[in-house]
Amino acid sequence: MKYRAAIHHFNETNLRDKIRESLEFVDWKNKIFPDSNIWVKPNLTFPEYMPGVTTSPRFMAALLDVLKERTKHLTVFESDGGNNSYTMERAFKGHDLYEICESRNVRLVNLTREETKVVKVPGGWRSYRLPLNKEMLEQTDMTISVPVPKMHFVTRYTGAIKNHWGTVPDSMRLRNHFFFRYAINEIIRRLKSQITVVDGEYFLDNNGPVTGEPVKMDVVMAAENPLTADMVLMDIMGVDPNKIGYVRESWKQNMGPKTLDEIELNTNLEDFKNFEFTYQRDPVDYLAWLGFHSYLVTWIVYLSPLNKFAHWWIRLLRGGSRQVENYYDSFIKDDEPG
């Protein structure tokens, strides 16, 4: 079986055309119909737009314009920032999504405020439980992931697959990181994630997901599913997919292609390899890596009576976090919804 992905360079005047052209290559008209209920998941890992970190307002506006050519039943959604760092209402405002969605009659939803349903996640020798949005589970025809490609200080790379973690409406979802590789594939299946549209105006180098270096790439891509998108993006960024644990698990669960040979592309990827991406993790980052793989470390840092001391100790070792928590300290965390 051949999976399909189309990638193009775009400029200031042809973004909508290149999005549409990419979607046509992955046969979107036979997947999205006038009555289709489509939920669109941008990457809003910061409360204001940051190139290479979050999906741009311009890209979201262009994508929604194109999608409305097929269906008027569109919902843009996200969940509150992880570790209770910021409300999604603030991020919606910081990315002009209230104006963008209202002007296009597109619904905008913070999943953290909505009704949830607990689903079972098979995980090796045991199973786990995870809350997901009830309406999405019961009524969504397709979820479209709109990631920004990044190097990541814990998982090494993040893109289309990992972008779905924001569908978990618990702002403390990082407490579930230790079974992430199982949960993310169950989320993709349950929420019917298929077409992926990549905002590649900027990629993020070095030490994402927030504090890396943005690299101007001016790329848009559409793929048949999240794993197909990630396989293409990792090749462009020089990332070995065999070193990404959640990708290996996706292969085991037959979520998509295992090699580029299984992907039909519209063009030669060599034309997009104009930057040498690097991956950086400092010694303290390995604590986060341990938390991503160990329930015990997660319990100590977030759930145990030692959690405040653990956070103080980690920040002392780091000398001020380069990652998410300290970057959010300058933002008001108790914004009113709306």
pLDDT of 172 reads 67
Q: Are strands 150-152 and 156-158 parallel, antiparallel or unpaired?
A: antiparallel
Q: Mutual orientation of helices 245-252 and 226-237 as an angle, nearest 10°?
A: 140
Distance CA 181, CA 279 (A): 20
Q: What's the number of CA atoms in the CB half-sphere (13 Å) around residue 329? A: 7
CB-based contact 107:101 (threshold 8 Å): yes
CB-based contact 201:51 (threshold 8 Å): yes
User: What are the contacts of 301-307 at 24+ separation with CB within 8 A?
Assistant: 302/172, 302/174, 302/175, 303/175
User: What are the contacts of 240-247 at 24+ separation with CB within 8 A?
Assistant: 243/156, 244/155, 244/156, 244/157, 245/155, 245/181, 245/293, 246/155, 246/161, 246/162, 246/180, 246/181, 246/184, 246/185, 247/161
Distance CA 147, CA 196 (A): 8
pLDDT of 313 reads 58
Give, for all 338 residues of the chain, the pLDDT tens digit.
799 999 999 998 999 999 999 999 999 999 999 999 999 999 999 999 999 999 999 999 999 999 999 999 999 999 998 777 789 999 999 999 999 999 999 999 999 999 999 999 988 778 889 999 999 999 999 999 999 999 988 778 999 999 998 999 976 666 777 788 889 999 999 999 999 999 999 999 988 788 889 999 999 999 999 999 999 999 999 999 999 989 999 999 999 999 999 999 999 999 999 999 998 776 666 666 666 666 666 656 666 676 666 666 566 655 544 444 444 444 434 443 33
**Burial of 251 by CB count in 10 Å (0-12 exposed, 13-18 middle, 19+ buried)?**
middle
pLDDT of 323 reads 46
Q: Torsion angle of alpha carbons 215, 217, 222, 223, nearest 10°? A: -60
Give the domain ranges of the chain. 3-281
Nearest to 42 by CA among 80, 72, 16, 78: 78
Nearest to 117 by CA among 142, 139, 147: 139
pLDDT of 255 reads 96
CATH architecture entry for 3-281: 3-Layer(aba) Sandwich (3.40)
Distance CA 338, CA 334 (A): 12
Nearest to 310 by CA among 126, 220, 318: 318
DSSP 138-177: HH-SEEEEE---EEETTTEEESTTGGGGGGS--TTGGGGG
Please give the structure tokens belonging to residue 19.
């999005």
pLDDT of 67 reads 98
pLDDT of 336 reads 39
pLDDT of 337 reads 36
Identify the helix (H) or strand (E) that includes residue 205: strand 193-208
pTM: 0.88
Distance CA 49, CA 34 (A): 31
Report helix, strand or coil for 281: coil
Phi, psi dihedrals of residue 208, rounded to the nearest 5°: -70, 180
pLDDT of 312 reads 61
**Burial of 268 by CB count in 10 Å (0-12 exposed, 13-18 middle, 19+ buried)?**
exposed
CB-based contact 163:40 (threshold 8 Å): no
